[in-house]
Structure formats: C-alpha cells, structure tokens
Amino acid sequence: MHRRLIVPSALAASLLLAIPASAASFAPGAPGIGDSYYPASGNGGYDVSHYDLRLKYQPATDLLEGTATILATAKQDLSRFNLDFGLKVSEIRVNGRPAKFAASGDHELEVTPASPTAKGAPLSVVVRYAGKPSEFKIDGWSAWARTPDGGVAAQEPDSAVWWFPSNDHPLDKATFDVSVLVPDGHQAISNGVLQSQSSRLGWTRFNWRSNKPQATYLATLAVGRFDITTDRTANGLPVLNAYSKDLGDNAGAARASIERTTEVAEWLESVFGPYPFNSLGGYVPNVTSGFALETQTRPFYSPRQFANGANVSVVVHELAHQWYGDSVSVADWKDIWINEGFARYSQWLWSEKEGEGTAQELADYVYAARAAEDPFWTVKPGDPGAENQFHGAVYDRGALALQALRNEIGDEDFFAILKGWPQEHAYGNAHVADFVRYAERVSGKPLAALFDTWLYQPSKPAAPTAASAGLSVPTAAPSGRSAAKPAKLAQPKSWKKIAETNTIHDEGHTGH
C-alpha cells in the first residue's frame, strides 16, 4: 500500500530555505583558460591537484585503453566543466556518480555532473576511454608518434589530449601517477620515479610517480623496447636513461651525450640552484622527428639530435628547462622567452665553462650573423605571436637579451638573479613582466628600457658589448684564455602542428 506524503507548509518552507541562496550562481566553467595564443586551451572553473592514469597499450595495433582519475577543486560554483581530450570516452563519473558528457570542438569534452559542485568543494572525475592515438588528428596532425615497437607522446605546446583527459595548460599543474601495462619484452617510460614493475600473464606493468607540480604538456609516455641504464646522483636522486634498441649509428653518440646528464645537472645547480625534482634522466625512442623536449625529469631526445656525433649541448638545453620552463612555467604561452631564452643561454654558459667560446663571444657571433634588415629582428621574443612562438629569434635573440642584462648589471647580480628566480617562483608560473621586476629588484637598476629594446622592439638593437673584462660563469676556465672560434649555431625548430617540420639543420643541433 502506498501513502501520499503530506508536507506541512512550514516544513516545505524550511526545505526551500535549505537550498543555498547562491544556487543561481552555479554556472559552467569556461571552455578555455584564457591564454593569449591558444584561447581554447585549458579550461576554467576548477584546479587539478593530481592525475592518476591507469593505461594499457598494445604496440602492434596502437590501441590505448585508459582510466584517468582526476582530483580537482572547484574554483567557482560549478554546474558543468570541460576537459581537453581527443580519444573516445565510454564513461565519466564525477564524485562517484555517472555524469553526462558530449564532445565539443575537436578536442573538448563537456561534462555535466549529476549535481553541481560548490566553490571550494572537491571534484573526483573518473574517465574511461580507448582509441588509437595516431588516428586522432587536429588540423591533420597528431602529437602521438608511432615507432617500430610502440608509440611516444612528447610535443609542445600540446600532447596530453592524445593520451589522457586534462586541463591542458601550464597554469594548471598537478602531480602524476602513471601506471602502464604493456606486452612482456616492452617497457613503458614516463616522468619521475619508477615505483615498481611486475609481470603477469604475458604483460608487464610499470608504475611511475612525478611528485612535484607538472604541466600537462610536460607529461610523457614512451612504449617500446629500450636499453635502460640507472644510477644515483651524489645526493641520492635516481637517474634513469632509456635508449631504443634500434637507434643504429646514432646509438653511441646518444649514450655519450645523455650519460652525462648527472654531470650537467650538477653544473646547472651551480648556476640555477638546487635541482627541483625527484629524479632525472632522458630517453631516445626511434622516432623520425628531429627535436628534443624538456619533458619533466626525463627529457625526450630524437635520434637525429646525435646524427653528427655527441651533443651534450642539447642535454644542457633540456636540463636547463627543468628550472626554466618546468619548475617555473609560463603563465601564458606568449611568455615563452622565459623558457627558451634561458635554455639557449645555458648552452652559451656551458660553452664558456668548456673553453669553447665565452657567452660574450657567442653573443657577438650571433649578433653579427644577421644583418639589420633580416626578418629575424622583427620577431619580438617577449611576445612573438603564436606563429613565431618557437622561432629562432625567441632562442637566440632571447639569449642576447640575457647577455645584455649581464653586461648592464654585472656578474654578481646577474648570477644571483639566475639562481634566485627559480627559487622564488618554484613550481609556479610567471610572466616576462614578473622577471623584469625581479631583475630590477635584485640589481637595484631600472631595466624596463633594456628589456623593451631586446624583447619587444621589431628591429636590431645596438650590440650587447661587454661593459667590463673578466666576466665568468661559475666553474668556468680562467678568464683571458684564447677561446676557440664558436661553431655556427643552428636555428631552433619552430614547433608547428606538422611533425615533419621538426628537422635538424646540417650545421648543428638544437632543442625546444
């Protein structure tokens, strides 16, 4: 027998009062985080603290199956939110309950929870999905690279959407656990520390942990057959390097370069301060592209980086990014100079340390190599535009800006800035303007005009001539020695959404 429940009017009134007065404020999060160059990248309304990715990958078919658990906090009264992702999703749950979802655009998922989430409340989002990453394309392009024995996710400024759902922008950094099941005989390489591996029923599971905030584009995954070397630094950090078994003639040069990772990192600590993460290393899969990338704790290197022999300079570049780009990340992609100008300048400092040309000599060489009418000088490193985000000027003119700063304020303040900046902004984000203010504060000098000249004026500045003799990088050879003539510097690759454009210039090597 069913009884009709009669609610007294007083009780009904009290139930209405129990509904938050701010219920009308619940609204969808923005479909983009607000980046100047990529307005659709990232999402508004929530902040991710952790990604737990449980994956299974079959190299023979390129099938990736996954369950992603995303732990986040609502930044507003949230009725709906977006995730950046491209593979086929079968189920989404929010706070344990099934949620509605729909594709929007070429890599957006609109997720509508069963109940809205109040500002400050936790969000637990579980996404089940499957697909072949190489078949998902944006404008005809895929960031997922197939290899003869597997696949690799390593690209900039986007790669996450090909293998896990995320808030895909450096402004929303998080910690990561990545667990990958692959056929026996294959390895899965990712960021951070390998916590464990185990084999069962013809499959091996690799469990990786990156325990410091990490931008989504800096997350990496490589599945293949690798030779792996391990070690520990003097202060106990684990070192893991991985080399594809089929690198051919480039194998020796790759090992001769990447096995110096610990040495390079220890030297960079003298320039930038303590290494910011829980592990280090690098990996070289058998890909056809020609670039390198600062994937956090474990940079990606293409075999072609070593086609002309050992290339420790590119290792310096990618490891420098662990401070400038990974620990301190861009707040907006227009701030890319904070990444690339500093990584390029670290190569000049390494050259100075190795007695192969001082930073000033390299600056003079790069400056003289391009006439005033060269379009190179029209690119503004402080805001190059999306089409020129990885233009050579961002790297080389960006490094010239640092040499000009060094000459203006002297070594003591200059190296104090290089070391202090990544400490002050560790694991966060920053704009170019933040760096300018920091440099002014440390040096006590007005520097806005200098930075405007080198980073924002579309013309060739006056040469960054040394203000005084005896400038020296930490642990450099004694000043006054006769330096070798610097080798011609290659222009870095412009990242485009066409993987084939990432090629090596014959005259040298480079990295993102």
DSSP string, 297-333: TS-EE-GGGGTTS--HHHHHHHHHTTTBTTTBEESSG
Tokens representing residue 487 in the block:
């080798």
CA distance 508 to 310: 11
For residue 334, give the DSSP letter: G
pLDDT digits (tens, 9 = 90+) for 127-146: 999 999 999 999 888 999 99
CA distance 413 to 353: 19
For residues 402-414, average pLDDT: 98
Instruction: Tell me the β-bridge partners of 188.
Output: 223
Burial 276-296 (b: 16+ CB within 10 A, else e): bbebbbbbbbbbebbbbbbbb
Residue 22: its pLDDT value, please? Answer: 56
CA distance 27 to 80: 7
CA distance 243 to 254: 8
Tokens representing residue 12 in the block:
């009904």
Tokens representing residue 282 in the block:
């690098």
CA distance 307 to 212: 34
For 234, other C-beta atoms within 10 Å of its C-beta total 7
Nearest alpha-carbon partner for 242 in 210, 206, 281? 281
Indicate the pLDDT class of residue 482, thresholds 50, 70 and 90. Answer: very low
Indicate the pLDDT class of residue 275, thresholds 50, 70 and 90. Answer: very high
pLDDT digits (tens, 9 = 90+) for 353-377: 999 999 999 999 999 999 999 999 9
* % of the chain surpassing 70 pLDDT: 86
Residue 105: its pLDDT value, please? Answer: 82
Can you tell me which residue has the tokens 């070690």? Answer: 231
Helices 261-272 & 337-354, crossing angle to 10 degrees?
Answer: 110
Tokens representing residue 203 in the block:
């499959």
Contacts of 377 (CB under 8 A, 6+ apart): 370, 393, 397, 458, 459, 460
Nearest alpha-carbon partner for 210 in 427, 25, 22? 427
CA distance 59 to 57: 6
Residue 465: its pLDDT value, please? Answer: 77
Contacts of 327 (CB under 8 A, 6+ apart): 212, 276, 277, 422, 425, 426, 427
Residue 12: its pLDDT value, please? Answer: 40
**In a 3-state reduction of DSSP, which class is residue 377?**
helix
On the question of pLDDT at 488 being above 70, the answer is no
Residues in the chain: 512
Indicate the pLDDT class of residue 464, thresholds 50, 70 and 90. Answer: confident
CA distance 464 to 406: 9
For residue 484, give the DSSP letter: P
CA distance 376 to 382: 14
pLDDT digits (tens, 9 = 90+) for 163-182: 999 999 999 999 999 999 99
On the question of pLDDT at 2 being above 80, the answer is no
Instruction: Tell me the β-bridge partners of 222.
Output: 152, 189
Q: How far is CA 372 from the centre of its chain?
A: 33
Tokens representing residue 474 in the block:
């930490």
Report the first-to-last Cα separation within the chain, whole angstroms: 72
For residue 490, give the DSSP letter: P
For CA atoms 381, 384, 389, 391, give the dihedral sign: negative
For 342, other C-beta atoms within 10 Å of its C-beta total 25
Least confident of 18-32, 190-204, 280-294: 18-32
